[in-house]
Amino acid sequence: MLALAGRAASDLPSLGRSPGALRVDAGQVFAVVADAFAGGGEAPVHMRLATRYRRAAAADDLRCVLVLLADHELNASTFAARVAVSTGASLAAGTLAALATLGGPLHGRASTEVAALVDDIEAEGPIPGRLRAWLGEGRAVPGFGHRLYPHGDVRAAALLDRLAVPPAFAEFRAAAEDLVGEAPNIDFALAALRAAHDLPSTAPMEIFALARSVGWLAHMLEQIETGSIIRPRARYTGSIPPVT
């Protein structure tokens, strides 16, 4: 965020710039994001991430998840990016707006909640019984179900199929699918990826942000081409004061 803020404070507005100049800007902004999360160098980003994490064996799985997470339609962070550049703000400013939005627990940080719950439940006893008790307290199970994928999150399936999922995560998945009737989503898969390769606890958020920044930039370039500002209208739904 600090690296992007520096560019956001000094980069030219996107308004009135040629498509060629904006594509150059997009490449430079992505380079800032990639250097911040994966370290500098000329190697492909997934290789740089694997080197930074000191997990060479994770490189192919990192490449897979970066592709899977690159874009996901008009999610909250992508919409924030498009709103920002629709005003003429720079691509760096739009990326910074998206990254700030991604930081919420209902978006990019959701996998952290999954990992914490798996660790806690595993430590307290048999996972199916502990998960049943968790649900009995009226709490939802993070990492399962997705309103856009009634038959299961295809991104999660693609990633989990290639992972050596740790036993605790495999047992948690089986118990959750049985108890809540939902398939795992990408947040569960990211948490499982971290555990499978013993990545740092910050890795899921870093991977998510690095991957999605490509999609953000593509969306922003598309939004700029429209030449219009995103300005939703509000409809008053409160009580109407009496006329006196």
Residues with a catalytic annotation lie at 146, 187
Helix (H) or strand (E) holding 128: helix 127-136
The structure tokens listed for 141 are 């199970």
- Residues 6 or more apart whose Cβ sits within 8 Å of residue 167: none
Helix (H) or strand (E) holding 94: helix 91-102
User: Could you give the CA distance from residue 109 to residue 196 in angstroms, rounded to a whole number?
Assistant: 18
The structure tokens listed for 98 are 């998206």
Task: Give the Cβ contact number of residue 193 at 10 Å.
Answer: 26
Question: 237 exposed, middle or buried (CB, 10 Å; 0-12, 13-18, 19+)?
Answer: exposed
Contact between 80 and 218 (Cβ < 8 Å)? no
Beta bridge partners of 184: 144
| Residue 160, SS3 per DSSP | helix
Using a CB cutoff of 8 Å and minimum separation of 24, what contacts does 236-243 make? none
